[in-house]
Amino acid sequence: MHMGVAIKLSRDCEVIEIPSGTRSTLPEGSVVRIMQTLGGSYSVSGGQYGYMYRIDAHDADALGLPVPDAAPSSEQRPFSEQLVWDELKTVFDPEIPVNIVDLGLVYGCNITPAEQGGNKLDIKMSMTAPGCGMGNVLKSDVENKLARLPEVKEVTVEIVFDPPWSPARMSEAAKLQLGFDLDFGEEPSSGLPMIR
C-alpha cells in the first residue's frame, strides 16, 4: 500500500476533516499521504493546510487506488450476537488504528425482536472525548455496517458519555498496540497517537 508516500489527487475528492467531522472537498492536484487504511476508508494528511482527512473507499480512485468491490456480505453466516460484535470490530477511529470495540467505545449491544420481524439492534457507544466531531461519522459507520447483517431490520445507535470514556476501557491488545502501560492505563510516552 502507499503508506506515507506523497500522492496527488487525480480529481476533486469529498473528504471528512478529522477531528471536526466537517465535510469538504480537496481539489484535484492536492498532495496527501495515506496514514491509515482501516475500516474501509483512508485517513490521509496533507492538502493545502496539512490537516487530516478521511476519504471513503468509493473515492479510492482519486488516490490512484482501485475502488474496492462492495463489502463482503455477512449473510453467509447466520445471525448471532457474535456476528454483531464481529461487525462492530470493522469500524475504526480514523485517528487511532484500533477498532471501536477494542478501544472500549461500545458500551452496550441490545438485540430484540423487531415489530416487522427480524431483529432490532440498540447500540450504546461513546467517543474518546465529548466534543469529538467524528461522533456522527462513526455512528453512521456503525448503523450502515450493522444494517447489512442478515435478519437485521432496525439499528439505533446512541452516543452516550456516562460513564465517561477512559483508557481503562480499552482491551489489553489495544493498550499494547498504543503503548499504554497495562497496569496503570497511562498514556504513551513517545510519538504514538494520543487519545483525544
Mean pLDDT of 145-172: 95
Mean pLDDT of 146-163: 95
Predicted TM-score of the model (pTM): 0.82
Rounded-to-integer distance, Cα 187 and Cα 194, Å = 7
pLDDT for the residue numbered 194: 39
- All structural domains of the chain: 6-63 (2.30.30), 74-178 (3.30.300.130)
pLDDT for the residue numbered 186: 46
Mean pLDDT of 129-152: 93
DSSP string across 91-154: -B-SSSSSBTTTTT-EEEEEEEE-TTSSEEEEEEE--SSTT-TTHHHHHHHHHHHHHTSTTEEE
